[in-house]
Amino acid sequence: MNKIKVTHLDNKGNAIGDSFVADLEVYKRVNKNTGFDWSKAITCFVNGESYTTTNMPYGNIKLQLNK
């Protein structure tokens, strides 16, 4: 199973608290209607890049494939 590193960011892009590792499929299922562009996120992971949400009201979330 693929694991991702999840980092919550404030409105300035700074990390809030500690990041954590989650199972990608479980995290995707739990967060299916929360503003994530999952197609873009998966494309970023395939290309070796991270994915960061944009324009979320309380700050964004950065997802990285955990290697």
pLDDT digits (tens, 9 = 90+) for 6-17: 999 988 889 999
The pTM of the whole model exceeds 0.95: no
Q: What confidence tier does 57 reach under pLDDT thresholds 50, 70, 90?
A: confident
Report domain extents, the chain: 3-65
Average pLDDT taken over every residue of the chain: 91
Q: What is the mean pLDDT of residues 36-41?
A: 91
Assign residue 9 a region: left if phi > 0, alpha if psi is -120 to 50, beta otherwise? beta
The separation between CA 53 and the C-alpha centre of its own chain, rounded to angstroms, equals 7
